[in-house]
Each structure stands twice: as C-alpha cells, then as structure tokens.
Amino acid sequence: MKLSLWTYEGPPHVGAMRIATAMTDLHYVLHAPQGDTYADLLFTMIERRKHRPPVTYTTFQARDLGADTSQLFMDAARDAQARFKPAAMIVGASCTGELIQDDPGGLSRTLGLPIPVIPLELPSYSKKENWGASETFYQVVRALAPQGAERMQAKDAGPSCNILGPTALGFRHRDDVTEIVGLLEKIGVTVNVVAPLDASVHDILALRQADFNVLLYPEIALTAAQWLKRTFGQPFTRKIPIGVSATRDFVREVLDVAGIEDADPIDQIESRLPWYSRSIDSTYLTGKRVFLFGDASHVIAMARVAKTEMGFEIVGMGSYSREFARDMREAAAAYGLEALITEDYLEVEEQIRSLQPELVLGTQMERHISKRLGIPCAVISAPVHVQDYPARYSPFMGFEGANVLFDTLVHPLTMGLEEHLLNMFRDDFEFNDEAGPSHLGHASNNERQKSLEKLQHGEPTQGQNGEGKIEWQPDAERELKKIPFFVRGKARRNTEKFAAELGLAEISMETLYEAKSHFSR
C-alpha cells in the first residue's frame, strides 16, 4: 500500500485506451465498474477530441457481483460489436475487473465474433499507463501484423518506413508526426504507416511492408519495434529527433538504415534555433541553471538541447518512467548528475526547492510546483493539460520543432535587455524584479514574491550548523537584496556556507563579497 496524492501516470487500462482511441476502427471492451468512464473526459476535454473514445464499459454494480458478471461482459462485447462494427476488438479489465477474474479474453472467444479479438492482460496493481499503452500496442501488432499480405513493393520504389509510437493524449504527438513525415519525405523515405495514431486495423496488417521502423516514442512502441525486428527483420531507429543536433543525428541514422548514399539533403534543411541562440540577445541565457523532469525520452532529449543548443547548465534531471530508469541514469551521469527516479511529486518539489534552478522544464506538475516557488517553467512532457494541445502547429520534433523549443524555453524567462535594466535600477519602484517580467503580465506577483522568500529563507542551508545560526548585518542584508532575485538564494546560501567554513558568527558586506569572489570561477 502506497500513499499517493497525485500521480504522473494513470492505470494501465488508460494506456490501452490511448491506443484504441488513436486508431480509427479498433474498439475496446473494458470490464469495469461505474466511474471508470471518467477516463473518457481525458480525451474529449483535455485533448478536445470530437468523438467519444471507442470504449465500452460493462459498468458492473455491487448487485451484479453475486450474480453473473461474465454474462454482463459477453452482452457488452456482443452489443459493442453490433453497434460500432469495429475491424478488431481489444478486451480486458480495469483494476476492479481484474479482481473478479472473469477472463474477458476467454469469454469473448466463446462469442465467436466475426472480427479478431485481442485479449489484454494489464496488471493494474503493478503497472502504469505508459506500460499499458506499450503492451497494448505490442499485442495489437503481434496479433494483427502476421495476417498481413506478403510484401508487395514496386521495384523502383524508394526506401519506406513506419512511424511507431504516437497515440491519443500524447504530448504534441499530432504535430510531431506531421513534422517527421515531412522530414522523411524530404530525404527520400516513403512513410508506409503511422501507428497507432490515425491507423486502421488494415494499416497494422501492412506494417510488415516497410523496410524499417522509426521509433518516435520508445515509452509506447519500443516493445512493438523489437518484435517487428525479430519477426520481420525490420531494423528501427533509436535517435529521438528533438533539437537541431538530435534531428541531424536522426536524419543520418535514417539515411544509414535506409541505405541512402546521398547525405546532402540534411544541410539544406534549416532551423532558426542555431542563429537565434547565437544572436547576442541570447547571451543572457548563458549558464542558466535548469532542472528537468518528465518521461525519460523527453527529458534526455531536452537536456541535450538545453545544454548544447541553449547554453544552459543542467543542475538536476529525473523521470517517472521506471521502465527507462537505466537510460535516464546514464544520461544524467554524462552531466555529472544523479537522476531522480520517482513517482512522488513531493520528492520532485523538494529537489527543485533545494537546487533553486532558474528554469524548470517539466510536466504539468512541475509547472505547478514552479508557479508556487516563483520559478519560470516550460512544459516539455506528459502528463498533459488542455493547454498542451495548442490550436497552432507546434511540434517538439524535427527542425520546426527546434524553433518551437527555442521559443518555449525562452518565453518564461526575463528577456535579455530587461534583465540588465533590472540589475541597473534595482530600486526603481515600478521597474524592479518584484514586478516580474513585463511580458508575463502582473498576475500573482505577490504570491510569487512570497513563495520566493519562502524558498530563500525557509530551508535550512548547509552553511548553518546545528547551534550557531549565522547573523546577517543589516548592510550586508541590504546589499544582498541588490543581487538579482533569481540568483539571490544561491548567493545567500553560498555566503552562509563560506561564513560557516570560516567560523564566522556574522556576515558583513565584506563577507558577502569575499564569498562572491571565493565561489566565482
């Protein structure tokens, strides 16, 4: 039993819903009690989908438990097939359905439905949403793909691939797919099938016709890609095209796998990110301290962008994707960091509080934590909120994605010149750091300042030993306030640490600047 106040991932059957909802003619019959239908609103409200997810819930009640819940399941499956006429069906149980052990797979076999029925075993008490999506996609592919026709490709056709992994309720999947399809076509690769997003059952049958697979979202499609490789000898790509360099790596990998000799096209594709990042206005971005948290793929990719394409400094990173903890740890180690692997947002909050980054790249929860702590934040990963489905075209992947990333990462920060002016005229009554960046409006500045004070004063720092609390002399305290607010906490901490090391009981203005020189490298 584990206490949870908020979770990064839903249960595994929600993962299965993301696959069914992504596809055009797959129906999901879910043995579940009343209330589990809440999951529909994730799709209709958050993602603003125009149709209800193709899911039939058996809605068993307490009074059914003594009677025949399996009959209820069979009726629901038969009715769903008759009403919705899907090309295939997945069947399974939610957490409560799992407990009553009705075996939806076995029951639906006895129905003799005229379509393929794929049973799902998604252990609700040990697995989570992404795992459920991955397992479901794998089971769907495994059940349907071998029935596909033999490969029939025209001899003169160029290399072709499938794109694997985009789902319903994915973070920017819709636009990522558009971007990557365009990119692949530009370099001479035909896209055979995109799955599961907007794929039909027939498309799944046709997966085997491609030369190789592009694995866009490993959390969802790694298992399926591995199976396709084993079964049909289709290799798959591992580079995730987020950021300019990673997109170039991705293109090189695709060219290599596709056997395209001509390495030319890659240089003709431009992104604005490199120039924007080099333009002098961006100097102020240098060394901004960044903390990242989210699914493993997005965090690993975004860390590279943050460090090598924006010039930030990574001070901490982590993920809730336990299945990819190893990759995450390796990536963090490359930055000399230890990855935070947790599903507990309070731990993430604690780490952000103690690291005091200047920018947080995270999920909706980190956006929330950052708001509370007064730290700028951009969302780079699921879990998603309604605002993560912008009306405009806004991919995270590919070269256009890199442009979007530049804007996404810069927007929450104070702009370059504005930052200088803030530093020069610290005591200006309206143009000061407490007024917040002008382009972000004036909302919640007080709250922001209050949380900031909490952040700066609330936590005991390492410099303070048990008995001796170090006093700040008033002039030193005043001087400290002249330091820009986003580094003030760090300056306070460092100065106190420095004073403690010297065994000082008081911090004077002198100590403050001694410490500054001591820590500057």
Pick 351 or 495: Cβ nearer other proteins: 351
Smallest separation, CB 385 to other proteins (Å): 8
Helices 474-481 and 509-519: crossing angle, nearest 10°?
Answer: 50
Tokens describing residue 484: 């820009």
Pick 7 or 432: Cβ nearer other proteins: 7
Pick 124 or 297: Cβ nearer other proteins: 124
Pick 7 or 178: Cβ nearer other proteins: 7
The b/e string for 220-237 (b: 16+ C-beta within 10 A; e otherwise) is bbbbbbebbeeebebbbb
Helices 218-232 and 129-144: crossing angle, nearest 10°?
Answer: 30
Helices 325-334 and 296-304: crossing angle, nearest 10°?
Answer: 20
Smallest separation, CB 265 to other proteins (Å): 39
Which secondary-structure segment (H or E) carries 195? strand 190-195
Amino acid identity of residue 8, one-letter, is Y
Tokens describing residue 88: 């295939």
Smallest separation, CB 473 to other proteins (Å): 35
Smallest separation, CB 39 to other proteins (Å): 7
Pick 142 or 385: Cβ nearer other proteins: 385
What is the sign of the dihedral through the CA atoms of 421, 422, 426 and 427? positive
Could you list the active site residues? 281
Instruction: Enumerate binding residues for other proteins (CB under 8 A).
Output: 1-7, 9-11, 13-14, 33-42, 44-45, 48-52, 56-62, 64-65, 76, 83, 94-96, 99-100, 123-126, 128, 346, 364-365, 367-368, 372, 385
Pick 103 or 327: Cβ nearer other proteins: 103
Smallest separation, CB 48 to other proteins (Å): 6
Strand ranges (E), 412-520: 471-472, 506-507
Smallest separation, CB 35 to other proteins (Å): 3
CB within 8 Å of 204: residues ≥ 6 apart: 140, 141, 144, 145, 148, 193, 195
